[in-house]
Amino acid sequence: MEQLGTSIISERSGQRVMHIGSVVARVGLVFALVVIGFLKFTSGEAVAIQPLVTHSPFFFWMNGLFGVQGTSNFLGSFEILTGALIAARLFSPLIAAVGSALAVVIFLATTSFIFTTPGFDITTMIDQFLSKDIILLGAAIWSLGEALFAASVVSRNAAPEPRSSRGPAKT
């Protein structure tokens, strides 16, 4: 039994679990952005976010410029694009870093609705929906850090070796 405990509690098993967690977190972040983005194209969602947008110091101008549905469509398109950029981590950590940075901006903005929308009430469905954005903000920040780290490793490995490490220069 003790041997089973030491094989479960090891650096290798910890790394495996962290890797699985990172994949699930990134897939969850992409899934949330894409699904929520597509929902923005429905009239029900457009109407539901209208009070949030109207009272936001960042978005209040959008309804006047694009209309209620146009604003919702714009925000939805931005969320879908952001999710796609994060999903690009499969082949480009730098593109994923850009998407993750955009996700941080999205979730900072949507989290601000908690403070800018009059009558915020955690017992209502829309306010509960906003509360999950705090968790998504954390996932976006983690994803940004991981992608930046991976991009720096790729960049460092792709850089040519300094001349002095290749031996003496030929004359």
**Structure confidence at residue 53 (pLDDT):** 94
| Segment 51-78, tens digit of pLDDT | 999 999 999 999 999 999 999 999 999 9
**Structure confidence at residue 116 (pLDDT):** 87
Measure the CA–CA gap between 11 and 167, rounded to whole angstroms.
38
Total count of residues recorded for the chain = 171
Please list the ranges in the chain whose pLDDT falls under 50. Answer: none
23, two tokens:
């994949």
Contacts of residue 41, defined as CB under 8 A and 6 or more positions apart, other chains included, come to: 72, 73, 76
**Structure confidence at residue 167 (pLDDT):** 53
Global pTM reads 0.82
**Structure confidence at residue 114 (pLDDT):** 81
**Structure confidence at residue 168 (pLDDT):** 55
Closest C-alpha among 37, 27, 30, 45 to residue 125: 45
**Structure confidence at residue 117 (pLDDT):** 83
**Structure confidence at residue 3 (pLDDT):** 63
- The Cβ of residue 94 has, within 10 Å, a number of other Cβ atoms equal to 16
Question: What does the CA dihedral 91, 92, 93, 95 come to, rounded to 10 degrees?
Answer: -140
